[in-house]
Structure 1
Amino acid sequence: MSLHGIHTIDAAFHRDHFDAAYLIVEEGRGAFIDCGTNHSVPRLLDAVQAVGLTPADIEFVIVTHVHLDHAGGTGLLLQQLPNATVIAHPRAAPHLIYPAKLVEGATAVYGEEEIQRSYGTVKPVPKERVRIAADGEAMMLAERPLLCVDTPGHARHHHCIWDARSRCWFTGDTFGLSYRELDGPAGAFILPTSTPVQFEPAALKASIARMVAYGPEGMYLTHYGRVGDVPRLAQALYEQIDAMVAIAEACEGRADRHRCIAAGLSALYLERAHGLQVPLADEEVLRLLEMDIELNAQGLGVWLDRGRP
């Protein structure tokens, strides 16, 4: 069931309901926002058929940013979409056209075997099929504007997409992570997300505030799905970003800095899970967040090493 012509597609990355791509349908035309990995492409094509479109009806593939769980399948997907143009942030476009450096960086973090298993061979996107979206530029899907807004913090090559029709944002990773397994009687659980190589807390808070200023009714997160109650969730993100900074600073200078940061993050997320009455045991909460705790701890370490930009 879709709302405002927006269809959520499980991109089949890591586990069910972890990685989403979105298909927006308007007057017989379609646009994907994020596309997952190469392994996601059959699911995206099945979704096109399920909504009564053909691959030729897809006009845009809009990537929020080029991390491989969001955009690793772009090149392969585009081979199946004869009329589609890829829409990208100015800093993201070169990595889609020449993905070798992006893959090299990810391989350094995860290892070559994991890259092949999770993502496959990342295909380049032909330069002539990439359109750079400036901050505040709208892509017209039929008569429906999809506004691209620069939202650094998680990544400097990140933009989010405002859909005035639904009064919702497609947020990539800027508005954090909210896994449906952690939903409780007090609402959705949310946490900010870093990368192993970059974390910019001030920029991230400013990007969240910029989105909230539109008065959105919902946020479509890549990880995972639509969430409402935006003011509460935004406040939770602000508080946690500040707490993450405090944890990193408290661990600075310690020989076991990474372990110290990871332990602090674990305690932070459990405290907030308890407050929201998340219906899982602590061990299960930490298991679901294990990868995110590790990535956030790495990002905070880089933030300290770079002198707190």
Structure 2
Amino acid sequence: MKKPIQLAEKVYLIDGYDLGMAERTGAYVLKEQQITLVETSSSPSVPHILQGLKELDISPEEIEFVIVTHIHLDHSGGAGLLLEHCPNAKVIVHPKGARHLSNPAKLIASAKAVYGEKFDTLFNPILPIAEDRLIIKQDQETLEVGNDTTLTFYDTPGHSNHHFSIYHPNVNGIFAGDTVGIYYPQLKRKGIDFYIPSTSPNQFDPDKMLKSLSMYKHLKVQRLFFGHYGMSENPQEAYKQVEAWLPIFINEAKEAFDEANDFESRTKSVTKRLFKKLKEDLQNKGLKDDDPIFDVLSLDLEVSGMGLIDYLNKQKS
């Protein structure tokens, strides 16, 4: 297991090894007077988070706040288990997500629908969080985590309706969750800055996503802290790529929707179509045909494909 890395002043990243994969989902540590975590990943990530905290000389008892950008299980699924180790921590969540953390039955059912028999290995256990340990933050509300550090929460739907982003003024950065999609640091190390939208089911909305990106631009942030994965200091390029890929994702989904009659066939078709386009784009940028990132992309596109077809189903009904 690799050690936590420092990304900015008092901001560290712990790899949660979500789905058993490195650089898949991260937990951010704000080493302020009130020590704060942003994201928990799923429950199998909790031992990695605890080990990362130990490496940073932080005891679990010192954690004051655990912020989840949204309640999809790869961002919040480990929160209940983590709280068992962090007796003084409270979880900060979007107003539309709080009830699902205190009663995660619907979250569990949704994840089982997507991941099937892999669910237990990837996500168990998903523990309910007592309501008195939940704090709701509305749009533009703030949280003081240090004498000179106040975070601001912004409602950012598009990926999901229960999604907020957290602006950190001291580093002029925003904890983006999945609002600006997925970033691949593995490719960055090979000289390729690459971002794609994250269109997971079941509340994906492209218009809301673009509106949230416009808000980011208005804030003029210099750093994006992604749920998947790590930090980019090139936000304009991220916006540009996500805005370019989004209509391509929609158009390919429409083609797939029209050529098949059931959800599974349509999802397989759009996943295959998008994979072909992304692979061609990356090969044109010099990436080798057998690069391991293609396995990661395939997984990401399978989930995004489900969200795209779900979105079109709702548009047609």
Q: Quick check: 1:130 aligned with 2:134?
A: yes
Question: What TM-score, normalized to structure 1?
Answer: 0.93
Measured after TM superposition, the shift of residue 264 of structure 1 is 2.3
Corresponding position of 1:286:
294
Corresponding position of 1:25:
31
CA distance, structure 1, for counterparts of residue 305 and residue 81 of structure 2: 32
Moved more, 46-55 or 117-126: 46-55
CA distance, structure 1, for counterparts of residue 269 and residue 89 of structure 2: 47
Question: What TM-score, normalized to structure 2?
Answer: 0.91
Instruction: Indicate how the Cα distance of structure 1 residues 242 and 71 shifts in structure 2: closer, same or farther if over 3 A, else same.
Output: same
Match of residue 238, structure 1, among 230, 236, 243: 243
Corresponding position of 1:189:
194
Match of residue 264, structure 1, among 252, 267, 273: 273
State whether residues 65 and 159 of structure 1, in contact with CA within 8 Å, keep that contact through their aligned partners in structure 2. Answer: yes
CA distance, structure 1, for counterparts of residue 125 and residue 59 of structure 2: 25
Corresponding position of 1:139:
143
Q: Quick check: 1:297 aligned with 2:305?
A: yes
Match of residue 166, structure 1, among 145, 167, 171: 171
SS at structure 2 position matched to 1:87: strand
Deviation string, structure 1 residues 242-295 (Cα, Å, up to 9, x no partner): 111122223332125434322321132123323543x33267443221111211
SS at structure 2 position matched to 1:213: helix
SS at structure 2 position matched to 1:35: coil
Measured after TM superposition, the shift of residue 195 of structure 1 is 1.3
Q: Quick check: 1:117 aligned with 2:126?
A: no
Corresponding position of 2:95:
90
Q: Which runs of 5+ in 2 are unaligned?
A: none
Pick the structure with more helix per residue: 2
Measured after TM superposition, the shift of residue 155 of structure 1 is 0.7
Moved more, 37-46 or 95-104: 37-46
State whether residues 266 and 293 of structure 1, in contact with CA within 8 Å, keep that contact through their aligned partners in structure 2. Answer: yes
SS at structure 2 position matched to 1:165: helix
Match of residue 48, structure 1, among 53, 78, 85: 53
State whether residues 177 and 226 of structure 2, in contact with CA within 8 Å, keep that contact through their aligned partners in structure 1. Answer: yes
Deviation string, structure 1 residues 52-79 (Cα, Å, up to 9, x no partner): 3322221100000111111111011111
CA distance, structure 2, for counterparts of residue 241 and residue 38 of structure 1: 31
Aligned length: 306
State whether residues 283 and 289 of structure 2, in contact with CA within 8 Å, keep that contact through their aligned partners in structure 1. Answer: no
State whether residues 245 and 300 of structure 1, in contact with CA within 8 Å, keep that contact through their aligned partners in structure 2. Answer: yes
Corresponding position of 1:207:
212
State whether residues 185 and 276 of structure 1, in contact with CA within 8 Å, keep that contact through their aligned partners in structure 2. Answer: no
Measured after TM superposition, the shift of residue 87 of structure 1 is 0.3
Q: Which runs of 5+ in 1 are unaligned?
A: none
CA distance, structure 2, for counterparts of residue 40 and residue 284 of structure 1: 22
State whether residues 184 and 276 of structure 1, in contact with CA within 8 Å, keep that contact through their aligned partners in structure 2. Answer: no
Corresponding position of 1:179:
184
State whether residues 81 and 125 of structure 2, in contact with CA within 8 Å, keep that contact through their aligned partners in structure 1. Answer: no
SS at structure 1 position matched to 2:166: strand
* Amino acid paired to 1:23: V
Deviation string, structure 1 residues 8-39 (Cα, Å, up to 9, x no partner): 00002121111111111113x31000011222
State whether residues 65 and 90 of structure 2, in contact with CA within 8 Å, keep that contact through their aligned partners in structure 1. Answer: yes
CA-based RMSD of the aligned residues comes to 1.9
* Amino acid paired to 2:213: I
SS at structure 2 position matched to 1:64: coil
CA distance, structure 1, for counterparts of residue 28 and residue 251 of structure 2: 35
SS at structure 1 position matched to 2:44: helix
State whether residues 186 and 293 of structure 2, in contact with CA within 8 Å, keep that contact through their aligned partners in structure 1. Answer: no
CA distance, structure 2, for counterparts of residue 226 and residue 271 of structure 1: 25
Moved more, 285-294 or 234-243: 285-294
